[in-house]
Amino acid sequence: MLYGYVRVSSKEQNEDRQIVALNTYGVKDKNIFADKQSGKDFDRANYKKLVSKLRKNDIMVIKSIDRLGRNYSEIIEQWRIITYKKNADIVVLDMPLLDTTKNKDLFGTFISDIVLQILSFVAENERENIRQRQAEGIAVAKSKGVKFGRSKVYNAEYYIDIYEKVKDNKLSFSEATKIIGCSISSYYRIMAEIEKMHTNFS
């Protein structure tokens, strides 16, 4: 059975480009599982459903390795679960070397493992770089007089953490505003600044 997995980081992002790539490979829409959630861990409902369906010789197709996730150690662990415990295959469309349906001999597996570890590290490292750029952007904004919250003072990482929890549906908008101590309009302004910084520093 041919399955596909799609992930975007937020509800505002569009997954069509990934779906088209999977369809072109031959994956039917009914077999595509999608999550609109951060890739920092694998606590994702549709990803879990997909993995539970995988059986021996099934194939899981993804557009790129960072669509699978952004946590280096967890990507490696999930790869092992799928290819060794489930005896299924993985195809990464943007990286032909990460195609376990081919070169199943010892050398092919060795090359695939090396490439996987390098790309997984790069994906996680990029996520950390984005967080750092966001923090730097917030610091610049604060130095220019942008206020974050009312009477409470937090560091940039605090706001980024709140921002990511809301995007991952772990906090509601109202909960976030109570934690930060601001109005809904102020909350949207703060998060708009973070989104803009993410764009400017990416």
Active site members: 9
CB atoms near residue 50 (< 10 Å): 21
Q: Are 159 and 138 in contact (CB under 8 A)?
A: yes
Q: Are 149 and 182 in contact (CB under 8 A)?
A: yes
Q: What is the CA radius of gyration of the chain?
A: 19
**Under the phi-then-psi rule, with left for phi > 0, alpha for psi from -120 to 50, and beta for the rest, what region is 198?**
alpha
CA dist., res. 143 & res. 51, Å (int):
46
For residue 71, what are the contacts with CB-CB under 8 A and spacing of at least 6?
A: 39, 40, 41, 42, 124
CA dist., res. 52 & res. 42, Å (int):
13
